[in-house]
Structure 1
């Protein structure tokens, strides 16, 4: 492990954490801006949802590609490059005069996003002492939860008083701040593991990991088929003001934080039960939203329930994958990231088709069905999946110069 002064190492962790926050914020920020983007660029809501799809698909492709192509490059240099790309993507998006150029900007963001999550979560193990690796990694990955919470209400809040483009400029400024911190604080972090495309399938040989990937597909399909269109739902079906939409989405986010902390306690007691119950409640909350659209208080209660159970889902799936692959590597993490991003993109596409063709009722019903399927798969197969270390699928996965025990990103997430 690269030796650095303890204080500088923790400051480096914070700079990487800020980068993770801005990446996920930038990915989900347009969800709260879809009505404003659609109106400004004269496109439909379903078409506007492609700004989420483009990022997810590109990230799914770029995660394994960046992992392989940069596996011999200093991780600090790779991270700098990805953060520069993050700044550029947000600036291009902010000033894009056409929807086509906005999609290009979102694809650039997808490259940065996929590349970062293939290597970023393991940075903590290279920056601090071994006894502090879990804490450092949790700080870096906390950027996901906070950004997921902040993105929707921030987007809705900005669009209520300014152009949606201002939100992209805010993201660009935060990304520039993270870049400065990384340039100043990160030490050299030499690559320790060579990865080839042939090594990326190792995760699929682990039964418990396969179950985790399948259930991850269904829960992210469910979430983003509905979540991508929750702001338009509130505007078009519930018919509330922009200020009320912001308040509703803020409630969703705060409930998500609470759900994250509660899941941290319940997952250690019964992981299958926590995830299964969460998926069922997710389905119930989503399917009831169109039915109770006439009642603003009822919608707020359902959004709070939805936010609470969703707050547990990413942490739960990360924990499941961590216990499934104790020998996790950048290659296996890249496959996990690809699964998530493909599911986000597919969910957004299916949601857009449903909204455009039949409205929010069909969209939210489909999303609820996905969540229930995920619960059934986990409940029926989850108890039998074994925890194994797949080992390297190819000699090329061997370390370049030192053991990679300090490197595994997934293992560092173990509670």
Structure 2
């Protein structure tokens, strides 16, 4: 690959990364806007919350459906179309006169999120040289961490201006920027093979893929069982004010970004080691948080540790699933996206039940237990299956030229 081709490849990666950032930002931004939306559209706050749940559930269904329906299309065309859908969804949400229309807009966004992550998250190997695949993928998945950091402060800022619609306008404008970059930078990326629903079902019979999906379900459920209630933990158990809570979430998010890029290097050494160690450390940090609630400095230190390992886990699990799929990375990532969306919902529900029955500290300990079970499953079964599929350091290793069509095993 020539230096100019390398530069263009990395610019293509940036365009996809921006798309992932805007999608996640658009998904999480309304969480801070729910009270304003409920008041303006005259619906109960609980009903307004459906716009967040609906996006995730539609994304879970859309990931395999979009993968199958578009498997024979040029991936550039599909990614651009999904980014267009993002812009339309945010634009429709910004002008929605009723909650019903706003919910439709959020469901459209769910289609974009599910489809984009199933396809875009594994596209890095088609854009850069094989040895840089994981590093390029870390740029794309960094969009999740960055958007998580930005969404809460931005939501608070938008809410203070008095117009929740501005949040969706910002998402739509950023989506347009991503769209222009993708049109300008993405090369033609021919489809590798046709994917059928039977192909997705066959993946469940691959032991390494089953291990990856189970481990991913545990880690995402554990993460969101605790993280959903980190703000109440800081306010009620640690006893800090809103400004400190915002700072703590910012610290967590920045640590997540650092962890994401650090994992781009550690995964080249050991996929299983990186994921397994991260899960155990996540569990230890979450267990220790209630025990150190009397120390603000101690809590902040643990949030840094938690953020670092959480930043590594999505990229690590994605890499595991990409290398576990004999049908190519998109097959594995479609089921991966569905699994994590459902796990996020399950984790939030379990966390809510734990908080209401045994308190926030009990919820954090439940989260840690779920993470430990997931780590044991991954390490125990992963070691047994490691000889079946080599832990190659690539999410999808193929010839990155526009004419590439054959993945390397």
Q: TM-score normalised to the size of structure 1?
A: 0.80
Q: CA deviation at 1:86?
A: 0.9
Preserved contact between residue 255 and residue 307 of structure 2 (Cα < 8 Å): yes
What are the ranges of 5 or more consecutive residues in structure 1 without an aligned counterpart?
A: 391-401
RMSD: 3.6
Preserved contact between residue 157 and residue 243 of structure 1 (Cα < 8 Å): no
1:369 matched to 2:369: yes
Q: CA deviation at 1:20?
A: 1.6
Taking a change above 3 Å as real, the CA distance of residues 152 and 364 of structure 1, as seen in their structure-2 partners, is farther
Preserved contact between residue 32 and residue 155 of structure 1 (Cα < 8 Å): yes
CA distance in 2, matches of 1:112, 1:240: 37
Matches within 5 A, 1:209-228: 209-228=209-228
Q: Secondary structure at the match of 2:193?
A: coil
1:207 matched to 2:204: no
Q: Specify the alignment match of 1:302 in structure 2.
A: 302
Judge which range, 202-211 or 360-369, deviates more.
360-369
Q: CA deviation at 1:165?
A: 4.3
Judge which range, 166-175 or 227-236, deviates more.
227-236
Count of aligned pairs? 394
Matches within 5 A, 1:378-397: 378-388=378-388
Judge which range, 351-360 or 209-218, deviates more.
351-360
Q: CA deviation at 1:324?
A: 3.2
1:70 matched to 2:101: no
Preserved contact between residue 218 and residue 343 of structure 2 (Cα < 8 Å): yes
CA distance in 2, matches of 1:21, 1:29: 12
Measured against aligned partners, the alpha-carbon deviations of 1:214-264 in whole angstroms (never above 9, x if no partner) come to 111000001112223333444555554433222111100122223334444
Preserved contact between residue 63 and residue 337 of structure 1 (Cα < 8 Å): yes
Taking a change above 3 Å as real, the CA distance of residues 306 and 31 of structure 1, as seen in their structure-2 partners, is farther
Q: CA deviation at 1:60?
A: 1.2
Measured against aligned partners, the alpha-carbon deviations of 1:26-47 in whole angstroms (never above 9, x if no partner) come to 2333455567667877745x76
Q: CA deviation at 1:114?
A: 0.8
Matches within 5 A, 1:149-298: 149-156=149-156, 158-159=158-159, 164-235=164-235, 238=238, 240-290=240-290, 292-293=292-293, 295-298=295-298
Judge which range, 117-126 or 73-82, deviates more.
117-126
Q: Specify the alignment match of 1:54 in structure 2.
A: 54
1:22 matched to 2:22: yes
Q: Secondary structure at the match of 1:200?
A: helix
Taking a change above 3 Å as real, the CA distance of residues 403 and 181 of structure 1, as seen in their structure-2 partners, is closer
Q: Specify the alignment match of 1:340 in structure 2.
A: 340
Measured against aligned partners, the alpha-carbon deviations of 1:197-219 in whole angstroms (never above 9, x if no partner) come to 11112332322221111111000
Measured against aligned partners, the alpha-carbon deviations of 1:135-183 in whole angstroms (never above 9, x if no partner) come to 5544434433433444344445555666554333322221111112223
1:405 matched to 2:392: no
